[in-house]
Amino acid sequence: MEPRQPIAIDKAIELVMQHGKEQGRELVSLQECDDRYIAEDIYANHPIPPFPKSPYDGFAFRSEDTASANRDNPVRFTVVEHVPAGATASRPIGKGEAVRIMTGAAIPEGADCVAMFEVCHTYNEGDLEWVELKRPIRSMENVMDKGSETEEGALVIRKGTYMNPGVKAVLATFGFTKVPVTKKPKIGLITTGTELLDVEEDMVYGKIRNSNGPMIAAQCKRAGADFIHFGKLMDELEPSYERIQQALKDVDILITTGGVSVGDFDLMPAIYEKLEAKVLFNKVAMRPGSVTTVAVYENKMLFGLSGNPSACYVGFELFARPIIRQALGTPAVYPKKIEAYLGEDFEKPNPFTRFVRGKMRMKNGFVYVEPVGMDKSAVVTSLSKADVFIVLRGGTRGYKKGDMVEALWVDTQEGQRNTWNHHLSSEEGG
């Protein structure tokens, strides 16, 4: 058997990304677009505020009429009308007049300033309502002018933006009942392994429950993809080949887990060969996930992730997620890189670059990352606590508590364009 040649992580990612493509767009109702990516630049189709408005409950005046007001010589105005928010004054304001106005109401024509109730003295005399000022109000004082927040035509949301509550508020402001979003790529998943039990099955000696299926489903969802689970396969060549070939017809990308190493029942290499798929690589200089294999078959991508849970998880985040995010049209496709202090010693030497599952925490304004448990690729339980991969570069003799390290923040919708530009990846190892 020929030993596999590991390739550097950044090289592997580059090969994968050459085969990505952006999805088309579709319109989705504002209510249902929560986990989506905006498919086009959105421009303000009217100014904000759309009319000059009052930021306070108070009175609107002509500033020139208030100029002579001071503590010793208060100036009084007749209150000619009341304007709640949503209403407009019935006529322009005249000399010596004031309008009682509420927060959010349009400034009456002719008025150019507002005084809060707190600086006004009001009283009734005769049949009239009066308001008295003891100081002048400047022109435009307490007026939110038309377009002062946002001018008509301004770019307000960039293409590729992930929907969040604030983005929704902006879309609602501009009347988007339907939102242009990128179509979700359709990802298929097949888990392989004769040893796999369904989640609802009782334990049987020698077998384990299929945890990769629900895990990858959730990772696809977090990455923004649609997901079809084609079920699990026994390690048998012909039925597996048939199923995989069939499944490829229904999806953009097919993920398999298990069967990519060199065991007697690791059938994925034979399946790629039988499909005549082009294998981009079948070994990466990293731990875990060194066996991650990516192949291309008739313009569709096949991600052969490791069966080992931690290796499977890391393989997805490093290689499958960027392709999904590229399909979604968001520019920051790679994991967000952070710098942090290592929270505890990690003394093992690292021939390969390691991605240690870790947890980020803040203390006194500093960011720390700490390994969350056993760092073997077969481990599953530590994954429940992990939100970062601590990057321990290949060719190092281990790390000490307090060392500044890099980490990839994976439990976030944030991403980054240039994560791999600065050689996080190592050429070493075998």
Ligand X SMILES: Nc1nc2c(c(=O)[nH]1)N[C@H]1C(S)=C(S)[C@@H](COP(=O)(O)OP(=O)(O)OC[C@H]3O[C@@H](n4cnc5c(N)ncnc54)[C@H](O)[C@@H]3O)O[C@H]1N2
If one asks whether residue 195 binds Mg ion (CB under 5 A), the answer comes out as: no
Interacting span for ligand X (CB under 6 A) from 40-48, 241-249, 286-294, 352-360 = 286-294
> What's 173's DSSP letter?
H
The interface partner of residue 260, options being ligand X, ligand MOO, Mg ion, none and the CB cut-off 5 to 8 Å by kind, is ligand X
What string of DSSP letters covers 227-285?
Answer: EEEEEEE-S-HHHHHHHHHHHHTT-SEEEEES--SSSTT--HHHHHHHHT-EEEES-BS
Residue 297's nearest CA partner among 265, 322, 272, 314 is 272
Where does residue 221 rank: exposed (0-12), middle (13-18), buried (19+ CB within 10 A)?
A: middle
- As measured in angstroms, the least distance from the Cβ of 265 to ligand X is 7
Residues that bind ligand MOO (CB under 6 A): 287-291, 306, 308, 311, 377
The interface partner of residue 193, options being ligand X, ligand MOO, Mg ion, none and the CB cut-off 5 to 8 Å by kind, is ligand X
Confirm if 60 and 98 have CB atoms less than 8 A apart: yes
Position among 258, 329, 371, 394 found at the interface with ligand X (CB under 6 A): 258
Amino acid type, 240: S
Beta-carbon-side half-sphere exposure of residue 282 (alpha carbons within 13 Å): 19
If one asks whether residue 269 binds ligand X (CB under 6 A), the answer comes out as: no
Reduce the DSSP state of residue 213 to 3 states and report it: helix
Q: d(Cα 423, Cα 9) in Å, to the nearest integer?
A: 9
If one asks whether residue 261 binds Mg ion (CB under 5 A), the answer comes out as: yes
Near ligand X in 31-60, by CB under 6 A: none
- As measured in angstroms, the least distance from the Cβ of 274 to ligand MOO is 23
Bond before 288 cis per omega within 30 degrees: yes
Q: d(Cα 269, Cα 78) in Å, to the nearest integer?
A: 88
If one asks whether residue 263 binds Mg ion (CB under 5 A), the answer comes out as: yes
Looking at the Cβ atoms of 307 and 373, the one nearer to ligand X is: 307
Looking at the Cβ atoms of 62 and 287, the one nearer to ligand MOO is: 287
Beta-strand pair 25-29/178-182: antiparallel
Reduce the DSSP state of residue 407 to 3 states and report it: strand
Position among 191, 330, 353, 425 found at the interface with ligand X (CB under 6 A): 191
Position among 211, 245, 396, 416 found at the interface with ligand X (CB under 6 A): 211
Looking at the Cβ atoms of 66 and 282, the one nearer to ligand MOO is: 282
Looking at the Cβ atoms of 291 and 328, the one nearer to Mg ion is: 291
Q: Name 191's bridge partners.
A: 232, 257
The interface partner of residue 257, options being Mg ion, ligand X, ligand MOO, none and the CB cut-off 5 to 8 Å by kind, is ligand X
Position among 92, 263, 398, 430 found at the interface with ligand X (CB under 6 A): 263
Position among 132, 145, 266, 427 found at the interface with Mg ion (CB under 5 A): 266
List residues binding Mg ion (CB under 5 A).
Answer: 261, 263, 266
List residues binding ligand X (CB under 6 A).
Answer: 191, 193, 195-196, 208, 210-213, 257-263, 266, 288, 290-291, 306-309, 311, 377-378
